[in-house]
Structures are given as structure tokens and as C-alpha cells.
Structure 1
């Protein structure tokens, strides 16, 4: 387990409350992470609590997926610098919670898949790093991990990683994070 005090915020949230059951984070209205693609704008005001990620190993965050407004989101953020980062998690888009990832190398991309049965449940997002790749996986309580994405990452890159929350369209989003941990990398890409 990583203690919440070990991380530093990329941008301060409205409110952070540490409790016995985890960390409660209230996002600033309009907060997001995105670079250029399709929309033409740059948003770099996400709330990510970051600490160094090992060059070989994994990091996980758990949170409750309780979203209701367009683009409410929480998950895991991996950051090399302002133009090279990854966010993976659950985002409420077009009326449905979506499991997805945004990989940014100068420009952002976006992939999603609907997960309507994840509403109100605890979600784990895992990033496993080995060699020149990161494998993103996710699961909801009581289910196995599913593959979200495999992406390239320079072996020598210094990466910061940790919990992420954004509220692009509204005020008042509070996300309950229940765990932040590191561990060994995944044994293989396939079972």
C-alpha cells in the first residue's frame, strides 16, 4: 500500500479528506487532461496524486464508480511530462460509464467500452510496466481483470503514477478512492 501522503497533486482539488475508508477527493469544475485531438484544445488541470512508478512493477488504484454527469472520471494517471501521459479508468460518457484509456504523446487518443453494470461498485485499475511497454487492466469487485490496452513506453522513462479524478462539465464530483498500491509486474500478457 502507498500512503496517500506520499503523493503530490498535479493540481489541487477543491477538497481532499482522508478517512478510515480511504481518500475522498472533490474535483474542480472544468478539470480534465486532454491534448488537441479532435477538439482542438489542451486541458492540463487534472487532479492526479502522483509518486514514482518503478521501472519494472505495477501500480493499482481502487475507487467507487459513482458518476452521473458527462465526462465525470476517475482512475489512474501515468505521467512522464506535460505532453506524454496516460489516463485509464472509468468515465461517464453519453449516459453510460465507460472503461477506457487516453494515451498522449503530443496528441491524445481515446478508447472506451461501456460498463453499465459497474455503477456504484469498486473498480481496480492496474498499470503493469516491464521493458518498453505498459499493460493496462481493470476489474470490478468480484470479477477477473480484463485487458484495456497495451502501450509503448520508453524503458528509461521516469514515470509518476497515481489516482486521478476530473470533472470537465460540473462542480461537486467527489470520488472515493479506497486503495493505492504497488507490486510486481504481471507475469505475462496472456493467461
Structure 2
């Protein structure tokens, strides 16, 4: 498994955050109150003003983003990895605070959004890594915390052969003042197989 760091300044924001500050090797991002991504389903509204830092993403690589959960305190505080083909074709995968519990959350959008959640209360205050790797017409999305191994959290259709971008995202639908620290943004070797987990840090070459 090989890893290549992506410099923070190589990405382009879909919507500029309230604040951006490099801290050592990390990046602290302040989200705008009301920022989100969602298309129509159930709520009927369209939100396209979340903050995603995007760089080109090709099929020959996976992408991983790591961030800290310590600042997640309010309903729908969220951050993670955005996969982007256009304003109505995207997937956001990460952690979202819902009913006081960190939830592994994925929203898959192709004109309309859907939303899946899985509680992860043991992840409170930890660093979390989200990973995406495309195979055929789909993307395999995995997540892990600093204290445990990978979970496969979604296999979703993402059939775009070109024009794909990906990178860290943060949204704050319900409050002002959310700041999330991203500690890592890398390209990695793609998944070998759906049922073969990528290596953990202690196993890397």
C-alpha cells in the first residue's frame, strides 16, 4: 500500500468556509451556520453551500481523509469525505452528530439525496478516517477510528469515468462556531477487493 499526501493548497473549495487555518500538518476549518448539502428528498429543499475542498480523483487511487471529532457538540455537526461529480451527483461520507451520538453517515445523491446512519458512540472525541475506492460502477466506502479497524459502511453507485473530484468536507446546518481539524488527506492504493480491508497504520509499509 502506498500513500501520497495531498497539500491543503492543492484543493479548491466549493464554498469558502468562514475560516481556514493551517496548524502544523493539519487544517482547521470553520463552517458557516446553515451550511449543508442536500437535494430535495423528504425535506424538499436544496442545500449546496457546504464546504468541500476538492482535488482530482482518478480510479487508480483511493482517497482518505482523517479528522478530529472533539468539536462535535450540536445536532448535525458533520465532517468527512466528499466525492463529487457535479452539484447533483455527489456522495458525502463521514460522521454526523445525531440525537447526541456520533453517527457514521453517508448521503448518496443523484438528483435526489438518500441518507444512511449507523451509531458509533465509542468514537466520541477520537480521530476518524474515511476512505473511498472505486470499483467498476461503484464506490466502496470505509471508516475507522483511531482505536479500531475498518468498517465497510456503504457500497454505492458512482459510475463516472472522468471528471471526479474528492476531498474533505464540513457542514454546520444548525449552529455557528463549528470548527473541525483535518489531520490528513492522502491518495492511496485502491482496494484490492470488497472483502479485503486496507492495512491499518501499524501494518503499512
Q: Scaled by the length of structure 2, what TM-score is found?
A: 0.91
Aligned-partner SS, 2:173? coil
Q: 1:29: which partner in 2?
A: 33
CA distance in 1, matches of 2:113, 2:126: 28
Is it true that 1:10 corresponds to 2:27 in the alignment?
A: no
In structure 2, how many angstroms separate the alpha carbons of the residues matched to 1:49 and 1:113? 25
- Cα deviation 1:95-147 (Å, max 9, x = unaligned): 11100100000000000011111111000000011221110000000311100
Aligned-partner Cα distance in 2 for 1:157–1:46: 23
3-state secondary structure, aligned to 1:5: helix
Deviations 1:127-186 (A, max 9, x none): 011221110000000311100100112252321100000000000000000000001111
1:60 aligns with 2:64: yes
**Paired residue for 2:87?**
82
Contact kept in structure 2, 1:56 and 1:130, CA below 8 Å: no
Q: CA RMSD in A?
A: 0.9
Hey, what's the Cα distance between the residues in 2 that align with 1:103 and 1:161?
Answer: 14
Correspondence for 2:185:
180
5+ residue gaps in structure 2?
197-205
CA offset digits 1:25-79 (Å, max 9, x no partner): 0000000000000111000001000000012320000000121111000000011
Structure 1 alignment gaps of length 5 or more: none
For 2:7 and 2:25, the matched residues in 1 are separated by: 13
Structure 1 position 46 matched with structure 2 position 50: yes
Q: Distance in 2 between matches of 1:25 and 1:165?
A: 8
Tell me what 1:144 maps to: 149
Per the alignment, residue 75 of structure 2 pairs with 70
Note the alpha carbon deviations across 1:78-98, whole angstroms, 9 max, x for none. Answer: 110011000000000111110
The counterpart of 2:126, out of the listed 105, 121, 126, is 121
| Number of residues of Structure 1 aligned to a counterpart in Structure 2 | 191
Contact 1:122–1:141 (8 Å) recurs in 2? yes
Shift of 1:19: 1.4
